[in-house]
Chains A and B, each alone.
Chain A
């Protein structure tokens, strides 16, 4: 049984069938890439799995337990973390504090102790700050820890989101276009980060348009088109699948095939 499994997910917005019987599975330490043209339903699938949208059909299982329809914070408590395609940053907080919020579930949060500022709370603040700093080092942002998040450039914010998502020590990490808008150097950096995260035993689900990145680091690839699964397999299988090449990858696919 896989760590995270989605089966038969369907959701429609008005008349538009954004997802139609879509499913996937991913194991610890593995990278599953979800690719497909704009509007294929990749982000929608993320939103369903992480509890932001409620699917009309289908089920999600996490670590063997059914978690369909649970609110996002309950899913986070079960080890599910994600980043956003359209950045969701706490702009009024520093980079470090953004990551500290990611520690929320690891903190004890006893309100009375917090209101009285008991030593246990101060100790916990210190622990969260240290952990957050380690994660900023991991994503290469330690030099900007104290800066307000609003002062950071786009590429840095993408990595900040990854650090924040890692802060709750998730078992599944879902990344929605982590390399979008990043230059080749930054993309390579993110490539390295994802592999390091998977090596720690985290199951990674990745939406990405950068085919080179996808082919390089994924164990399996799921291809979506107009809300339906077009193909699923290893990068090599997907790359050579004529339907994929024809319907989606087209010219880009041939390029990617040659590049690999």
Chain B
């Protein structure tokens, strides 16, 4: 078995196990709803992990693509009378189109400049969602109709848990396939040396664009799922804080790691719920925890713990 295939089996196995076990351990409707949120956030974080961890490119405006997916799902039925699922797919296509369009000039930038340019993109999307009140409903948000598939009304926390879990599993499978391919190797290569990658025949600009579009598709898919699941969206889903949250999920979980993105998403989704105990200090405690994680597991939780385990093992 090739090393890539082994990684695939381990990661998908761990993820599949978690998906099956959670409903047994935490069967309440509330817990299933939180878990579904985790799977949705993890899907978005996974795409960003490909962009940041694999290819070494930053996006501080990724919630913009999340918002496009969410709002397309809400607005398609409202204004055009389209089916919510079709609207979501159109939203994903729109996000991919936007990423393709703005990606080429943006990705020529490096480091801080790239960060600021993507930040600008995210802020722009958020601004449109807030200010185009007639279309988007503005800051008050907008209702999303219930998803109906072939006459079946998709409802209930168990069903949404399953749907979001399966989407995450698919997203992880695709990400793992990408990692273990020519394109994946080229992305990791350009992360380390764009010059050496291009001299080896890698079209660096094209590869950056490809991974940017993939990351946008992941985010928009997650956004659409959130809209269908919550039945309501507000511009916050595309806000700057949301973008930062996504980046934090990736960094805290471990940048180069698929499981890391899921663990990071779980942590940043579950902790705020758990920390409501601290009332006014909720955000301060969350910030403190993030700092502690970064100090003690600098590579991120999953690679950091894996490293500890390997080192502990007797030679």
Across-interface contacts of B178 in A (CB, < 8 A): 114-115
Across-interface contacts of A90 in B (CB, < 8 A): 188-189, 191-193, 196-197
Partner of B183, one of A82, A111, A122, A129: A111
Number of residues of chain A lying within 8 A (CB) of chain B: 42
Interface size class of B (residues with CB under 8 A): 20 to 34
B303 to chain A, nearest CB (A): 12
Across-interface contacts of A77 in B (CB, < 8 A): 201
Across-interface contacts of A121 in B (CB, < 8 A): 177, 181-182
**A56 sits at the interface (CB 8 A):** no
Q: Check A111–B210 contact: CB distance below 8 A.
A: yes
Q: Check A125–B2 contact: CB distance below 8 A.
A: yes
For window 193-216 of B, CB contacts with A under 8 Å fall at: 193, 195-204, 210
A93 to B3, alpha carbons, bound, how many Å?
13
Across-interface contacts of B186 in A (CB, < 8 A): 101, 104
A76 to B201, alpha carbons, bound, how many Å?
5
A163-190 to B contact mask, C-beta < 8 Å, 1/0:
0110110000000000000000000000
Q: Check B182–A107 contact: CB distance below 8 A.
A: yes
A50 to B273, alpha carbons, bound, how many Å?
55
Chain A residue at smallest Cβ distance from B4: A125
How many A-B pairs with Cβ below 8 Å?
113
Across-interface contacts of B191 in A (CB, < 8 A): 90, 92
Across-interface contacts of A97 in B (CB, < 8 A): 185, 188
**B101 sits at the interface (CB 8 A):** no
B73 to chain A, nearest CB (A): 23
Q: Check A101–B195 contact: CB distance below 8 A.
A: no
Across-interface contacts of A116 in B (CB, < 8 A): 174, 177
A114 to chain B, nearest CB (A): 4
Chain A residue at smallest Cβ distance from B196: A88
Q: Check B201–A109 contact: CB distance below 8 A.
A: no
- Contact A100 B2, CB 8 Å, known A72-B199, A90-B193: no
- Contact A128 B182, CB 8 Å, known A90-B188, A117-B173: yes
For window 11-32 of A, CB contacts with B under 8 Å fall at: none
Partner of B2, one of A76, A126, A165, A167: A126
Across-interface contacts of A114 in B (CB, < 8 A): 177-178, 181-184
Partner of A129, one of B2, B173, B196: B2
Chain B residue at smallest Cβ distance from A96: B3
A93 to B181, alpha carbons, bound, how many Å?
14
Most B CB within 10 A of own CB, among A81, A84, A92, A101: A101
A89 to B188, alpha carbons, bound, how many Å?
11
Closest 3 CB pairs of A and B: A117-B177, A88-B196, A76-B201
Interface residues of chain A, those whose CB is within 8 Å of chain B, are 50, 52, 71-73, 76-77, 81-82, 84, 88-93, 97, 100-105, 107-109, 111, 114-117, 121-122, 124-126, 128-129, 164-165, 167-168
- Contacts A71-B198, A90-B188 aside, 10 further interface pairs with beta carbons under 8 A come to A81-B200, A92-B192, A101-B200, A104-B185, A105-B200, A109-B182, A114-B177, A114-B178, A117-B181, A164-B200
Residue contacts A-B, CB under 8 angstroms, 8 given: A50-B199, A76-B200, A84-B195, A102-B200, A102-B201, A104-B200, A117-B180, A121-B177
